[in-house]
Structure 1
Amino acid sequence: MEIVETLILYTPKYTRLPFRLIKERIKDRLDQEKYGVMKKVFIGIGISLPLLVIVLSLLSNADSVFGHFLGQIPRRVIDVDSLEAIFRMMLIGLITILVFAYMYSLFGKREEVVELPVPEDDKKIVWDGVILVTILAIINIVYTAFTYIQISYLFSGAKRVLPDELTYAEYARNGFNELVTVTVINFLILLCTMHFASRAKPMLYRIIQVLLSMLTICTGFMLVSAYFRLSLYEDAYGYTHTRLLAHVFMIFLFVLFIIALLKIWRDKFSLIKYYAILTLVSYVILNYINMDVIIAKNNVQRYHATGNIDIEYLSELSYDAIPVVMELVQDKKIEEKFMEMLQERKEILYEDNSWQSFNLSEYRAKAYLP
């Protein structure tokens, strides 16, 4: 029973002892200020690692070239033999720590667990500047590399050589959803950092401002890239409500980041006020523009350019789109099929002729569907 208690309770506890001894030795050799800074840097690295895993996964799926280069890094830095040697050393180190912890639990002095009271702190939550600088610096390195690849490959017209089995059309059209997800993550990082960042040290906070500005600029490139990719996707597969709303959402996010950039350098700038105004204006504009007409015009233009069109989807648009889509009737290839799909709409249009149900869009549509 004692052996089981030693293995389950005390052995895992004493696995931390070697690290604590190393920590105390480093602490004795360094002065308190340097030790505190180094400790915060390692905390920042630890916090940024899970975030990096998520961001790198999304960016690798968003950009095949970035994913290709990311996959080449371990091969160029570490060969197979070195990787195997490192794995063996890590395994030996883990076994050594476990054996040390087990032997110490048998022969060493066991520490009693003392529960300390949790202090109550009513002060405002503040994030340490050194930790934030570490996290933002690591993230910005990744985003800068990604932005460079975007500019080099996506906006240069594929002048550089793409990886094997990857065409430029496939490369340009992929990754829209992932880029938007990363943009939303960056927006949350930006807002939280501006709100919780410590301003006790002006120079340190100035560095945070610079890093946040870099984050905002890189995110702007991501939004432009996502917008461009969606446009290419629409050229290939047509225009829909969902894709048009995605364009509007990206423009909305882009303006949000511009306002946030002003807030970074002007602390008294009211972020909530201008975000509320922007949201209200965006809502009014979105309700004012006629989305069905825009979708119909773009799909008709795409048909004239490529000869491809989704007649069934166009026939389901509102009556506002009827004057636009009726241009297709002039094309004998699709006239019969298109008019068959509109026949049901035409019957519904003439069902109720009372003046109380008058609608301007329906009135205009009757001129094209006699």
Structure 2
Amino acid sequence: MRIDLRSDTATRPTARMRQAMADAEVGDDGFGEDPTVNLLQERCAEAVGKEAAVYVASGTMANQLAMLVLARPGHRVVCGQGAHVATKEAGASALLGGLSFTQLATTTGEIPAEVLSAALNDGGPPVDLIVVENTHQSCGGYPWRPEALAGLRAGADAARVPVYMDGARIFNAAVATGVPVRAYTDSVSALMFCLSKSLGAPVGSVVCGPASFVGEVRERKLQLGGGWRQAGVLAAAGLVALEEAPGRLHEDHATAQQLATGMASISPEVTDPDAVRTNIVFADPSPLGASAQQVAARLKEAGVLCKAGRTRLRLVTHRDISPADIEQCLAAWSAVAKQYTARSRAVA
């Protein structure tokens, strides 16, 4: 048994994706001549209500390219606490763009207007950009409320600072809140979303926004060696993902809830099912008397893969995870929890 809950990037291409990849019409994307890439870009821009889009290798690359265009070296980017751009990507932003970040305290990823206003007027280096992450991964995959995002945009407009969305899992947010994707994207100047996370394509993300902005992003992409050449073989899978995946994301949310509810039943206080809104479950194994690293190692021995942070485990559901897989995960969790509970009692 091998059940991979480390990330929703773990999905394998479907049979339809593989066929589309084999049949893809291709050209040289470095010259803008790959028809399948061009079609993917058009469809992605249309899906989020923006003028244009550009297909790139990863979410990190998408964010970095966008920030190179929207923020100047030596200036700041404001974002929510724990945002991907300010944590996992901080080194890249310092190296490529000379940027620093101000992270604003948040338990959901949302940034209240008054908190934003204080950050924009704190006397620090100029703020060129506000980045919102939706869903906010480190806050348990929490989806922004559309009205909260609209309120933040109003404050940003008053300060003449653009808002960019790291929308890696924007479709999860829309499904969880029951709103169209454009209920979010109309409140941001530009955004990216991943094809290779919850949508299940093997490779790639897209940066979307005004045509002039996307043109600059495309230029930076080529400057950084991101010319795809015959990338239609990858874009073809992205087209399938964009068409098929949004309508089934509720299934991943259901398996995440199944997992969180089961874990909480076995080990109370380890996780809170009410905090699970999309496809991400965080668990704190300290009530078992064990560290996240220890429990992740034991689960791996049982065939369940998850990510261990400093104090928490992260488990992410996706297309390749079924309810039956979750039951096997819970059986593995129960066995590991019993081991540590027995040890704690013996020590006591």
Q: Please confirm whether the aligned pair reaches a TM-score higher than 0.5, indicating the same fold.
A: no
Coarse TM-score class (shorter-chain normalised): under 0.3
Structure exhibiting the larger radius of gyration computed from Cα positions: 1
Higher relative contact order, chain-length normalized (CA < 8 Å, sep 6+):
2
Determine which structure has the larger helix proportion and give its number: 1
Q: Could you tell me the TM-score, scaled by structure 2's length? A: 0.22
Q: Could you tell me the TM-score, scaled by structure 1's length? A: 0.21
